[in-house]
Amino acid sequence: MLIKPRMRPFIELSILTRYHLTYLPRRASVSTVKLRLHSSFHFHFASTLLSPTQDTHSLIQYTPIEDTESIDKYRPGGYHPLQIGDRFGSHSQYRVVHILGFGGHSTTWLAWDEFQGRHVSLKIAIASDIASSQEIHTLRRLRESVCDTAGRKRFPFPIVLDSFTHNGPNGTHECLVTEPDMCSLAKSKSTSKGVWYFDLAVARTITAQLIRATVMLHSRGIVHGDIHPGNILFTLPSSFHALSTKDIYATYREPIKEPVQRRDGVSQLPTNVPPYVVPPVWLGKRYEHITTADANIMITDFGEAWFPAASPRYSLNTPVLYRPPEAVFAESEGKPISFAADIWSLGCTIYELFAPGTLFEGFFPDEDDMVAEMVSALGKPPRSWWEGWQARGDFFDAEGENWNVKKGRISDGDYYTFDARVDCIKQDRKGVVEQEELDDLRLLLGSMIRWSPEERFSADMLMVSEWMRKWGA
C-alpha cells in the first residue's frame, strides 16, 4: 500500500480498495471520515436499490450487481434498456455486441457497423440529458474548424461518425457514434497493481499532447469545463479495427449477462428495465503497462463545454479535486468563468501523470475541503474570496494564520506547500526524475495553479514554456 509522507493509512483497506482509494488524506479527521464513509455507502446502496422517482415503479427494489450501471437509473428520463444484439441507427445498422462503460448521464456500447464493417462506440444518453445535443454540436463545430489545418491523426477529440435520436420506454435519447477507445487515464490507474504513476517518457508524451489539445480548443473559443483523468482516453491501435466480433469475444471476453432480479421475489420486471445487465469489457491497459506507443490520447466528454463569448457561465460540474477556485466564488461575485478554468484543471491532471496521488487531496471532499487544501498549498486566497468563504472558520482561526483543529474537520495543523507536493514526485519515483526536469515541471505547474485566473498562463503561453521546449518535443 502506498503511503506518502503527508498521508496516513486507513484501517478499512478493503473498503478503500473497493472505491479505488489507496490512502487517506492526512488532515481528514476521524469524525469526518466516519461521516463521509457512512454518507457515501448510504447513498451508493440507497440509489442502487430505490428509484427516486414517483412513477409506478418507484417502490421496486433490485438486487445490486457489482461493476454494472445502477438499475434504478432505468426509469422515465433515465437509461435506455437494451440487450446484446439490439440494433440502432436510421437504418438499424449498429448492432450492439458489448458494453464499454457507463456514467451518470449515459451508457456506452461497442457496436458493429453493418455499413462500414467495423466496430464503433455508441453512446446513449439518458432521456433527460439536454447537454448531449450541445456536445454533438460542439464536436462537429470543432472538427469543421480544424479540418483544413489538422489531419485526422492530430485531432485529439472524438470524431462524430453519426448521431441520431432513439425513442424508448424511458423517453427519447440522444445517440452519438464515435470510434471506440482503449480506456481512460483514471481507469488505467485504478486497475494498477501497485504502480500509480506512468513511466516518465509516457508522462511527458501525454502532457505535451494535453497542452497542444488545450491550445486547439481555446484558440477556437471553446472551454472544455471538465478536464480530468476520467475524460482523457487512450486511443486503440489500428489493428483493433480489423477485429471481427468473434475476434473481440476471443481476445477479450464475451458479454456476461447478469440477470436483473427484484428483491420482493416477483419475477416480472417493468418494461423499462432490461432483463440483464453486463459488466463492461476491458480493452485497456494498466498504468505500468502503458508505453509511449500506447500514449496517444484524446480529450472526450464535451457535455460541459461552452463558448464564453456567447454564453457566460458561473458554475462548474468538474470533480472537486480538479475544480478551480473561481468556480466557488464566481456566482456570488458575478464574474463569469473562462478559459483559465481549463488551465487549472489541466495543471491538476498533469501533476497526476507524474505523481501517484492527486495534487489536492480529500476523502469524499466538498468544495470547502478543497479550498482549505488550496490554502495549505498556495497560502491565503485574494481578500474578496477569503472574506466570502463562509466555511473558513471550520478550518482556520480568525486571522487565517493557523489551522482550527478544534472544529473537527482536520486532524492536524500542518501546511503542505505546493513546492513540497511537487518534491514528492522525485521522492515517489526514487530519484529517477532529474532535478533540472523537476524544476521545469515545477515552473510549468506553478504557472497553471494560481489563485487568480488572470495570473495563470494561457494555453499559448504553456506551448512556449521551458518545459515544453526541453521535455515536450
The CATH number covering residue 196 comes to 1.10.510.10
In a domain, 7, yes or no: no
76 plus 195 within the same structural domain? no
Which three cell numbers, joined as nine digits, stand for 402?
493557523
Question: What's the rounded Cα separation, in Å, for the pair 75 and 302?
Answer: 24
In a domain, 14, yes or no: no
b/e per residue 188-209 (b: at least 16 CB within 10 A): bbbbbeeebbbbbebbbbbbbb
90 plus 212 within the same structural domain? no
Q: Residues 6 or more apart from 392 whose CB is under 8 A from it?
A: 371, 386, 400
Q: What is the pLDDT of residue 58?
A: 60
**Final residue of a structural domain among 282, 312, 337:** 282
In a domain, 12, yes or no: no
CB 174 within 8 A of CB 129: yes
Q: Residue 39 phi/psi, 5° resolution?
A: -65, -40
CB 77 within 8 A of CB 126: yes
Among 326, 437, 443, 336, CA closest to 388: 326
Q: Residues 6 or more apart from 420 whose CB is under 8 A from it?
A: 6
455 plus 409 within the same structural domain? yes
Instruction: Assign residue 249 the CATH number of its domain.
Output: 3.30.200.20
217 plus 274 within the same structural domain? no
Which three cell numbers, joined as nine digits, stand for 138?
460542439
Q: What is the pLDDT of residue 133?
A: 82
Q: What is the pLDDT of residue 405?
A: 77
Question: What's the rounded Cα separation, in Å, for the pair 309 and 295?
Answer: 33
Q: What is the pLDDT of residue 362?
A: 85
423 plus 458 within the same structural domain? yes
391 plus 464 within the same structural domain? yes
Strand partners for 387 = none
In a domain, 298, yes or no: yes
Number of independent structural domains in the chain: 2
291 plus 344 within the same structural domain? yes
> What pTM, to 2 d.p., does this model score?
0.86
Sign of the dihedral through C-alpha 269, 49, 78, 84: negative
In a domain, 56, yes or no: no
Q: Name the pairing type of β-strands 232-235 and 7-8.
A: unpaired
Amino acid at 66: E
159 plus 130 within the same structural domain? yes
In a domain, 193, yes or no: yes
Q: What DSSP letter does each residue of 206-260 carry, written as one string?
A: HHHHHHHHHHHHHTTT-B-S--SGGGEEEEPPGGGGG--HHHHHHHT-----EE-
CB 129 within 8 A of CB 136: no
Given the C-alpha cell 456570488, which residue does it identify?
A: 332
Which three cell numbers, joined as nine digits, stand for 437?
526536469
In a domain, 17, yes or no: no
Which structural domain range is residue 95 located in? 62-179+239-282
In a domain, 118, yes or no: yes
CB 417 within 8 A of CB 377: yes
* Residue 397 C-alpha from the chain's centroid: 34
399 plus 315 within the same structural domain? yes
350 plus 380 within the same structural domain? yes
Q: What is the pLDDT of residue 13?
A: 32
pLDDT by 10-residue block (mean), the chain, 473 residues: 32 34 47 47 41 55 93 95 97 97 93 96 91 86 74 77 96 96 94 87 97 96 97 94 95 96 92 96 94 95 94 95 97 96 98 95 91 94 94 87 76 83 91 92 98 98 97 87
Question: What's the rounded Cα separation, in Å, for the pair 136 and 177?
Answer: 10
338 plus 385 within the same structural domain? yes
277 plus 287 within the same structural domain? no
